A and B are shown apart, each in its own frame.
Chain A
């Protein structure tokens, strides 16, 4: 599964990661898997303010990710 990270998340997890995950898996489960892979990202990923995005739509923690979905994780956004 291809996973993309933005902002400060990319500093600990890299901009892109390919992770073997048994699909379908929920967003919450994917977060746990990511923490197993990169324990130093636990705090950053656990934040309720980091949202998951699939096919350009923000999805809830219970969302079941399909095998070929690309998942993006967004820290809080800020323009201006």
Chain B
């Protein structure tokens, strides 16, 4: 499935949107979300890099499962690209796009994709700063956002 990819190197979100637009010819609307590595952590301290550890099999499997559910639940075409490894501040972490006949399904599918990727995609996320490293887990808000779709 070329529309769900794990990337070790930086990727271009505009190119991903372009691919989705070409692939979804006939769609009435496309919604895309790009997650970007923040330059600062929760405390405001500068982040030197984000490290996303992945699992050799389960990470891509989880991404495919989430993308497949979004496609069938909302009747959309989806494209999901996720970085792993070392990510510099300002670099894209994730692209989640949904193309649909009408806008509502595309907005909802993109929202759904991100709520599930945040809490269920198999990654372990660490922020490295000059003062030390912190493992980042989903917040209660992230889990509450995920439950909206149950």
Contact = CB atoms under 8 A, between A and B. Distances in A.
B136 interface: yes
Given A7-B53, A56-B61, A80-B114, A75 B135 contact: yes
A76 B124 CA distance: 8
B124 A8 contact: yes
Sorting the interface of chain B by its residue count into under 10, 10 to 19, 20 to 34 or 35 or more gives 20 to 34
**Is the contact region of chain B dominated by helix, strand, or loop, or is it mixed?**
mixed
Contact of A7 (B57, B63, B124, B142): B124
Interface of B: 35, 52-53, 55, 57-58, 61-63, 82, 93-94, 114, 117-126, 135-138, 142
A48 to B, nearest CB: 13
Nearest to B84: A79
Sorting the interface of chain A by its residue count into under 10, 10 to 19, 20 to 34 or 35 or more gives 10 to 19
A75 B124 contact: yes
Interface string A27-49: 00000000000000000000000
Contact of A76 (B57, B61, B137): B137
A77 B124 contact: yes
B124 to A, nearest CB: 3
Contacts of B142: 78
A56 B60 CA distance: 12
Given A8-B135, A77-B122, A78-B125, A56 B58 contact: yes
Contacts of B61: 56
B114 A6 contact: no
A72 B53 CA distance: 14
Contacts of B57: 56
Given A77-B120, A78-B119, A78-B124, A7 B135 contact: yes
Given A7-B135, A77-B122, A79-B62, 14 more contacts: A6-B53, A7-B53, A8-B126, A8-B135, A56-B58, A56-B61, A74-B122, A75-B135, A77-B119, A79-B120, A79-B121, A80-B114, A80-B117, A80-B118
B133 to A, nearest CB: 9
